[in-house]
Structure 1
Amino acid sequence: MTTKDTTSIFTRWQLLSFGVLTTPLALAGFTLVFYLPNFYALEMGLGLTAVGLVLALGRVFDVITDPLIGHFSDQTRGRTGPRAPWILLGAPIFALAVWLFLAPPEGAGLIYLIAVSGLFFLTYTIVDVPYSSIGLEISPDPHERSLLASSKSLFQIAGALAASLIPLVLGAAMGLSLKVIAATVIVLLAVGLFTLFRFVPAIREPNAEPRLSLWSGLRWLWTRPQYRSLIGAFFMVQSANALTAGLTVLYVTHVIGAPELIGAFFLIIFTSTALCLPVWLWIARRQSKRAAWITSLIVCSAALAVVPFVGATGIAGFAMFCVILGGVFGCDAIMPTSMLADIIGKTDGSSRTGATALAVKNAVSKLTFVVPMAIAFPLLDLVGFQEAGENTPMALSVLTIFFAGVPVAIRLLTAFVVWRAPLSTQHLTGSG
């Protein structure tokens, strides 16, 4: 990476170049969510329970390894800085893990799944945490930090769309589709590494900064009220998102009554996320990042409050809801990350704990996706909800409460926390 003067501003090409590496990471991540559980459980014959347990333990593994990798990156010293060595170390092993995970040999069993999924989760973290941390540190300008986060979000959407479209376009067996996805991830990984190290300016990390232990770094971060408030708000909004996103397939199937349109609704969500990013950037620049985030929280709460009144004949109404939902997902993605960059830039200009701070945020995000499995699914089972067949009005009401009602309450509470917390421009950057 080339050296960057801290007073310079990114060109559009540099902003785009920074985000490219997100596409292969997102493509691999969405493939894990969309296809691999059913592929290993059904086509490889390992069973839903065993596969679900292995992948759930992988998320627990991530919660442990994310802060560790972030800490090790923060404490790395050398002329290439604290991030590049980890990215270059992890990328080739990650490419191997992707191929092994998505293209298993015939007869691969549970031990194989445990080994390759563990390698996948670990190497994904080794690449992603240091890479994403660069976006927290590379620019001194608060608006530019939002643009960097938006660049990553835009290429993340590209990865999600690729994961959705490749099997559809191929029209082949899932095994072949996964091999094509794996090859695509590996090629895009090479492209992303090239654009990152060739075109993106980087601030070189001096070696004079004292090292911190992991515990000292976490304790130091937790003494910052801005960081505590941001992580708490992020945990709440991601929990709300996890409920809505995790129950969308069931809601569309059993309440809207249009399972054949699930793919189309997800396409609307992803497209809306991309199209609405400039809106949130405009609000953040004209008002504040906090104002943009609170606006998105209130808008989504209003949409969620209305969606229960969209019945089985309300396909157009639900499509409009997907437009709003996708739009606010973009704000939920870029504003917390950009605000975290402001906190790091204000309180930790030396980047002593930047990757650790981001890794804790990532770990919190991964924990929230346990919410549907830990709370909603058991209660749905308790009221006799059936994934196939007819459901009672009580079962559908409980589904609607968790899909829309509980997320409304969580989002409104999050808006209050963000409004009251020390997350204004003055608090984050010291500016007026």
Structure 2
Amino acid sequence: MFKYRIPSSEINQNASIGHGGYVGQRPLSNFQPERVMTFWQVLCFGVLTTPLAMAGLALVMFIPTFYATEMGLGFTAVGAIFVAGRLFDVITDPLVGYLSDETHSRFGPRKPWILLGVPAFCISAWMLLSPPDDASLLYLAIACALYFLAYTVLDVPYSSIGLEISPDFHERSILAGSKAAFQVIGAITAASIPFVLALPVAQSLGLIAKLVTILGAAGLLLFVLFVPDRIRTVTHPRIGLLSALKQIFASRPYRYLTASFLIVQTANSLTAGLTLLFVTHVIGAPDLIGLFMGLLFLATALFLPLWIWLSRRNGKKATWSVSILLCGVALAATFLLGPGDIIAFAAVCVLVGAAFGCDAIMPTSMLADIVYEGETEGRNRLAGLFLAFKNSASKLTFVVPMGLAFPALDLVGFDKTGSNGSEQLTTLVVFFAGLPILLRLIALSVLKAAPAANDDTPAVTDHGRPA
């Protein structure tokens, strides 16, 4: 077990830097906190993301259809259960975030939750992925509720550690990159199992359940043995949930960052949710959807080091802005595509996948700056609550395709299984690319307008290592 202690002088100096700077801009000081984690420790920190990503990918791609068709429970009932689960998350995420912030134990505030969360998550994932042959809607509802709760109990405290552990601004991006890389590994593994091994969905889900259990246990062991603890004494009295909420939303940089993230994630949800329809009806290559998704995931992983390098040179805000524009340009090209434009759409997938990686790293790293700089000596922990509302915003965006795009497509008479005219295809492209481009431009304007850190709220600044 590795531990380090934050000297009070370092905390006070670190918290004071950035006043007068703008959200996510380059360093305004030569202050250089030292990194606290080795490359091996950074890897050990990220491993737990793999089982979370595997189960999450299976939840999106396979499980609803599996229960609706092969288990015979029906699309409407299954869909209602999963939507209810997402709404349940909106309540439990902030609650778990607050409780983990306020937890006091000899093992720190987060580790007890993680030690509880890993076995609970593995058991609930097994229930969801390997149901009995006679599973009913009641079984699915119980399994879903346990899964969503266990996921939150594990993920919120675990991810909060990545926000608060390092005093080095660049190492925060590296930590976010480690989680993003293992997330891609988990997603690719889960997505490829039915195709590479040529297994039916039921057997594929059973294999994913076994891998989630094994990787969950391995990830927990590596985390406990090698990830350092940050020892920071909290001397302020405990605060209630309402007071904690007032504190986090009093931070103007946090409000602007969360708004930008919410808008970008909404755009990403529209594009991701309509990719299958776009490939099938515009490109005319439904059999290549696996290849296109593989390229997207691969690009996400390969471009992660580039985004981290650029953020160190140019700042996190500037790097994220470049990524947002890059994705917008790539999506604009889809208005020119038609049947058979396979290579061109493959290039679009590479660029969009690359931008998705930056969307995963930069907002998380910028949030870590807010959290760390707000933790002046003795102040209450708020990382869990900060993260929980960001997570809730992200989860809510995934209902946008179902709540906005699908009704609009039905309104113009879009046929999901047959041929469509120009009006229907144009509507599809507008929601797949046009609206996401507009949303990304709005997100850029919000990010650009992020306020100066000249008040008592913490700033998202790239202080630490001069370019």
Specify the TM-score bucket, using the shorter chain as the normaliser: over 0.9
Does structure 1 conserve the Cα–Cα contact (< 8 Å) formed by 2:285 and 2:340? Answer: no
Provide the C-alpha distance between the structure 2 equivalents of 1:408 and 1:430, rounded to a whole number of angstroms: 27
SS at structure 2 position matched to 1:56: helix
Provide the C-alpha distance between the structure 2 equivalents of 1:208 and 1:419, rounded to a whole number of angstroms: 36
> Over aligned residues, Cα RMSD in angstroms?
1.6
Within a 5 Å distance, the mapping from 1:31-180 to structure 2 comes to 31-180=58-207
Cα distance 1:416–1:106, how it changes in 2: closer, same or farther (>3 A)?
same
Query: In the alignment, what sits opposite 2:357?
Result: 330
Cα deviation digits, residues 345-398 of structure 1 (max 9, x gap): 111355621101001000000011111111111010000011101112111100
Cα deviation digits, residues 134-188 of structure 1 (max 9, x gap): 0001000110000000000000000001111112232122111111110000000
Provide the C-alpha distance between the structure 2 equivalents of 1:327 and 1:223, rounded to a whole number of angstroms: 33
How many residues get paired? 432
Does structure 2 conserve the Cα–Cα contact (< 8 Å) formed by 1:21 and 1:192? Answer: yes
Query: In the alignment, what sits opposite 2:325?
Result: 298
Query: In the alignment, what sits opposite 1:400?
Result: 429
Query: In the alignment, what sits opposite 2:4?
Result: 4
Farther-moved stretch of structure 1 (207-216 vs 294-303): 207-216
Cα deviation, residue 423, structure 1: 7.5
Does structure 1 conserve the Cα–Cα contact (< 8 Å) formed by 2:169 and 2:462? Answer: no
Query: In the alignment, what sits opposite 1:277?
Result: 304
TM-score, scaled to structure 1: 0.97
Q: Higher relative contact order at CA 8 Å, sep ≥6: structure 1 or structure 2?
A: 2
Question: Aligned partner of 1:32: which letter?
Answer: L
Where structure 1 has 5 or more consecutive residues not aligned to the other structure, the ranges are none
Does structure 1 conserve the Cα–Cα contact (< 8 Å) formed by 2:81 and 2:141? Answer: yes
2:255 pairs, out of 212, 228, 231, with 228
Q: Are 1:428 and 2:460 counterparts?
A: yes
Question: Aligned partner of 2:320: which letter?
Answer: W
Cα deviation, residue 428, structure 1: 2.0
Question: Aligned partner of 1:212: which letter?
Answer: I
Provide the C-alpha distance between the structure 1 equivalents of 2:199 and 2:307, rounded to a whole number of angstroms: 39
Query: In the alignment, what sits opposite 2:334?
Result: 307
- 1 or 2, which has the higher helix percentage? 1
SS at structure 2 position matched to 1:4: strand
2:390 pairs, out of 352, 361, 366, with 361
Cα deviation, residue 36, structure 1: 0.2
Query: In the alignment, what sits opposite 1:15?
Result: 42
Cα distance 1:351–1:137, how it changes in 2: closer, same or farther (>3 A)?
farther
Identity within the alignment, %: 52
Query: In the alignment, what sits opposite 1:370?
Result: 399
Cα deviation digits, residues 64-113 of structure 1 (max 9, x gap): 10000001100101211110001111211211111111111111110000
Cα deviation digits, residues 173-219 of structure 1 (max 9, x gap): 21111111100000000111011111111103435342121111111
Farther-moved stretch of structure 1 (398-407 vs 7-16): 7-16
Q: Are 1:214 and 2:251 counterparts?
A: no
Question: Aligned partner of 1:356: which letter?
Answer: L
SS at structure 2 position matched to 1:203: strand
Provide the C-alpha distance between the structure 2 equivalents of 1:430 and 1:306, rounded to a whole number of angstroms: 33
Farther-moved stretch of structure 1 (416-425 vs 260-269): 416-425
SS at structure 2 position matched to 1:386: coil
Question: Aligned partner of 2:297: which letter?
Answer: F
Query: In the alignment, what sits opposite 1:317?
Result: 344
Question: Aligned partner of 1:2: which letter?
Answer: F
Provide the C-alpha distance between the structure 1 equivalents of 2:55 and 2:351, rounded to a whole number of angstroms: 26
Cα deviation, residue 2, structure 1: 2.1
Cα deviation, residue 266, structure 1: 0.4
